[in-house]
Amino acid sequence: MSRIGKKPVPIPAGVTASIDGGQLSVKGPKGTLTMALADQVTYALEDGQISVQPINDSKRARSFWGMQRTMILNLINGVTQGFSKTLEITGVGYRANAQGKNLKLQLGYSHDVDMPVPEGLEVKTPDQTTVEISGIDKQMVGQFAAEVRRWRKPEPYKGKGIKYRGEFIFRKEGKKK
């Protein structure tokens, strides 16, 4: 039994949800998000909440059960509060600058890295070593943050690179004489 899947997802005031044609559409103060619904799970929209149940007792249906409930919760949280990730850049000469719909990174390569910001995301650089990515779609925010981080992952000896705020980098001791 899924402990997460058993709980219905409450729909807060100011948010409307509708299920039609295999799509869940959630509209809130920050925007509208849609999600394709899985066939292995049944969905019920009643009394200001969405409940999710597996269609049968197969392993596949039970595995979809909790995940679909979490994805619905992410849609509702996205249109009410939004999601954000903060990246920190460490290293001499490493810096970032948000220029309109582009993010310009200087990471020690012979060239600057220009990344176009996807539609629906907002990127801010409060200072040269901090990048804040925010949006209503949790998957898009996380994916873009991972793509930025991929350009220069933190290395274990000096800790140089791009890391998530709060991420622990396991440090290694260098060579000894």
The first and second tokens of residue 98, run together, are 């948000």
SS3 155: coil
What is the overall mean pLDDT for the chain?
93
| 3-80 and 83-164 agree in CATH topology | yes
Beta-bridge partner residues of 23: 20, 36
Coil vs helix vs strand at 77? helix
Does 3 have pLDDT greater than 70?
yes
CATH number for the domain formed by residue range(s) 83-164: 3.90.930.12
Supply the CATH classification number for the domain 3-80: 3.90.930.12
Q: Model confidence over 59-100: pLDDT tens digits?
A: 999 889 989 999 999 999 999 999 999 999 999 999 999 998
Instruction: Give the domain ranges of the chain.
Output: 3-80, 83-164
Which tens digits make up the pLDDT trace of 131-152? Answer: 999 999 999 999 999 999 999 9
Q: Please, how many CA atoms are within 13 Å of residue 25, restricted to the half-sphere of its CB?
A: 6
Cα–Cα distance measured from residue 25 to residue 113, given in angstroms and rounded to the nearest whole number = 36
